[in-house]
Every structure is written in C-alpha cells, then in structure tokens.
Copies of this chain bind each other. A is one copy, B any other.
Amino acid sequence: MKYFTLKINTLAWGLSFAFLSAMLSCGNKETINNAVTMETMSKKDVTLSVIHSRKSVRNFITGKTVPRETLDTIVRAGMAAASAVNLQPWQFIVIDDRTVMDSLAAGLPYAKMLAHASAAIVVCGDSTVKAGELAFWEFDCSLASGNILLAVEAMGLGAVWTAVHPDTVRISTVRTMLHLPDNIIPLNVIPIGYPAGNDKPKDKYKPDKIHWNSY
C-alpha cells in the first residue's frame, strides 16, 4: 500500500511538472515578442500569402451555393477600396439566380465558367461621377474588384475577372441583361465559387520591371 501511494504520488508530481512546463512553453512566444510585434508580423505574412496565392479560378465545383451573407461580406470588402476624392463611383450587381447566371454565360464568350460558378459580382462604374473634368471610376472600380478577388481568396473561394469594359459589344450584352442605365458601365463580371483545385497562382515577379529613382 505504501509502495502504491509512492508510485501514484510520483505520477502526480510528474503531471505537475508537465503542467508547469506546458504553461511556461505556452507563454514563451508572448514573452519573447510583445503582442503588437506578433500581430504585425502575422498580418504581414497572412496578407502577403493571400496576395501571392490569389489566382484566376476558372474551374468550379458545381452545385454548391455561396450564402448571401458571404457575398455581402465580399462586396463590403470591395467598398472599402481607395476612391479618388472619396467619390465612390461604384455599383455592384450580385448575381445568385441560376437563370441570370446561365443567360450571362450564354451571352459572354469569355465568361462561360459562369455556368459552373455559384454566383457572380458585376462591378460597375457611374461615368457621370467626376472630380472636376476627370473621371476616376475605372481606377476606383478596379481597386474595388481587387479587394473582391483577395477577399474571395482569403475565404477559400475562387474568382476570376472577366473583362466587359471597354468592349462595346460585351457592355451592351450585360447592360441589356442586368437592366443597367446608360451611365452605369459594367467593368467586369467576376464569377465566384468553390475552386475545383486545378487553377494555380502564377509567379510574375520580374526584377527588371523595378527601376530605382529613374526609368
């Protein structure tokens, strides 16, 4: 009995030692780096990894729905983009109706993957919104589209920018199908869905495109 008590108490001490080691090892990282440094490092690493893993996804798993809440989160990311003179000249048509998806797929030769995507966002610019003489909607809407592409990637979904503007035929097709007024120009159609897995990111880093202090 005494031997048993000794053994079981040794076990208890062993577990206590393990507990103290685990606590020390758990707190270790936060002791070495302060919280702000860790957060900044992690933000940088995660953001760069999302930027570099983003790819044009053209192959989707069919039949899976993307919830409206998710689509709203994605568009919300788009609206957070920089905008010249804060004019926010963008409008977003979000499509999750199968009939509209299929009509657009049929009408747009470069957006056939709409037939397999779960949803689509059409980023449009209001051409009447100007800062003085100059219109910046093409840049603002491109930035909003860029945020959309990155949010989609970060959420484990896939998307691809299919061009509409400045192709006048495609603009006319999209305008008719989505009932766009004349001042609302569709910049692109961005099909969104669950990636089938066969689209990969490209390494486009070319040091000769960087010029220090002069071209």
**Residue from the list B79, B145, B215 in contact with A178, Cβ < 8 A:** B215
1/0 per residue, CB under 8 A from B, across A178-200: the answer is 11110010010000000000000
Contact A50 B54 (CB under 8 A): no
Contact A201 B80 (CB under 8 A): yes
**Residue from the list B9, B23, B153, B213 in contact with A100, Cβ < 8 A:** B213
User: Is residue A76 contacting chain B, with contact meaning CB distance below 8 A?
Assistant: yes
Contacting residues of chain A (63-90) with chain B, CB-CB under 8 angstroms: 72-73, 75-77, 79-84, 86, 88, 90
A160→B90 CA distance, assembly (Å): 20
- B residues less than 8 Å from A81 (CB atoms): 146
- B residues less than 8 Å from A84 (CB atoms): 161, 163
Q: Contacts A151-B51, A211-B92 given; indicate if A206 touches B79 (C-beta within 8 A).
A: yes
A150→B88 CA distance, assembly (Å): 18
Closest 6 CB pairs of A and B: A19-B19, A142-B142, A47-B154, A15-B16, A146-B146, A12-B12
